[in-house]
Amino acid sequence: MIEHHFLSRLEQLIAGGKRRILGLTGAPGAGKSTLAQAILEALPGRAVVVPMDGFHLANVELERLGRASRKGAEDTFDSAGYVALLDRLRAQRDDEVIYAPTFRREIEEPVAGAIAVTPDVPLVITEGNYLLLDRGHWKSVRPLLDEAWYVDLDPEVRRQRLVYRHVQFGRDEAAARSWVQHTDEVNAALIESTRARADLVFRGL
């Protein structure tokens, strides 16, 4: 359940009918996807979620680049492609449908053309780790967002969620805990450093 003042803020954001983009960022496991889904349910027919994770590089490319063991780090995404999509979504024509990619955890791969964004939807919610990062192509994301919310959660709860998620999708518990410690938490520290660029902090659901 989203508190009333957050919903009021969203209603004000989309009141004019013009396309708006809300960015949800925060460390891995903080609850970005959960919040995005809650907003979708609170604004039926008026919002669509376009996740940053759809721009994960494919596993074969991560292997070629030698980055597979760091999957989820800032340089394991097509950040330029993500920026280009956000730019298209801001300027979407009335006669076009824009297709966005998604990420399927069950196969650990992005899937192109999975999300249809129609021009009549006033709110695009985009969620991901590096929306407020101020370097590389990532620095072009923040100017394309009408609002950016930082999703925060107690670190211990967040880490427990991550271990459970990794186990759920195929890792044994030891491997899951190792991945959280050596990959997810390294990324989390970087993401935390971007917190001041958000418009507000949302305590995770």
pLDDT bracket for residue 142 (50, 70, 90): very high
Going from N- to C-terminal start, the domains of the chain cover 4-199
What percent of the chain has a predicted confidence (pLDDT) above 90?
70
Instruction: Determine the Cα–Cα distance for residues 140 and 135; give it in Å rounded to an integer.
Output: 8
Closest CA to 89 of 35, 131, 146, 42: 146
CB 69 within 8 A of CB 179: no
Task: Name the least confident of 53-57, 152-156, 194-198, 201-205.
Answer: 201-205
Architecture of the domain defined by 4-199: 3-Layer(aba) Sandwich (3.40)
**Residue-level pLDDT at 124:** 98
Given a cut of 80, is residue 204 above it in pLDDT? no
- Of the chain, the end-to-end C-alpha distance in Å amounts to 8
Q: Coil, strand or helix: which one is 150?
A: strand
Strands 20-25 and 123-127: parallel
Compute and round to an integer the Cα radius of gyration of the chain. 17
pLDDT bracket for residue 61 (50, 70, 90): very high
